Structure 1
Amino acid sequence: MSPLPETVPFFSQWETPNMTLAVLADGAEAALRRDPLWQGSGAATLDEYAVWAANVCGMACLKMILAARGEIVPTIELARRCTPYGGYVVDEGSIKGLIYAPFVTFVKAEFGLDAEVMTNVATADIASILGRSRFYIASVSSSIRWPERKPPSKGGHLVLVTAASDEGFRFHNPSGHTSATQANAVLAPAAFDRFFANRGIAVAI
Structure 2
Amino acid sequence: MRAVPYRAQWESPDLVADILSGALRASDDPLWARSGADSVDEYEFWSWRACGMACLKMALAYWGHEEPPLVQLAEEASAHGAYLRHETGVNGMIYAPFASYVEQRFGLTALSCPELPLSRVAAETAAGALVLASVHHGVRRPDTTPPHRGGHLVLVIECTDAEVVFHTPSGDRADNQAFATVSRERFERFYAGRGVVLRPSRASFEMPT
Pairwise same-fold verdict (TM > 0.5): yes
Residue aligned with 1:81, SS: helix
Unaligned 5+ segments in structure 2 are 201-209
Aligned-partner Cα distance in 1 for 2:62–2:101:
18
Aligned-partner Cα distance in 2 for 1:31–1:21:
11
Q: 4+ runs of 1 displaced by more than 4 Å?
A: none
Alignment match, 2:15: 19
Which of the two has greater helix per residue? 1
| C-alpha deviation, 1:133, in angstroms | 5.0
Aligned-partner Cα distance in 1 for 2:116–2:69:
30
Match of 1:170 among 165, 172, 177: 165
| C-alpha deviation, 1:147, in angstroms | 0.6
Match of 1:10 among 6, 23, 27: 6
Alignment match, 1:181: 176
Match of 2:93 among 75, 94, 98: 98
Aligned-partner Cα distance in 2 for 1:200–1:21:
26
Unaligned 5+ segments in structure 1 are none
Cα RMSD of the aligned pairs, angstroms, is: 1.5
**% same residue:** 39
Aligned-partner Cα distance in 2 for 1:93–1:109:
29
- The answer (yes or no) to whether the contact 1:8–1:68 under 8 Å persists in 2 is yes
Match of 1:53 among 47, 50, 61: 47
- The answer (yes or no) to whether the contact 1:133–1:202 under 8 Å persists in 2 is no
Alignment match, 1:33: 27
- The answer (yes or no) to whether the contact 1:117–1:202 under 8 Å persists in 2 is yes
- In structure 1, what residue type is equivalent to 2:11? E
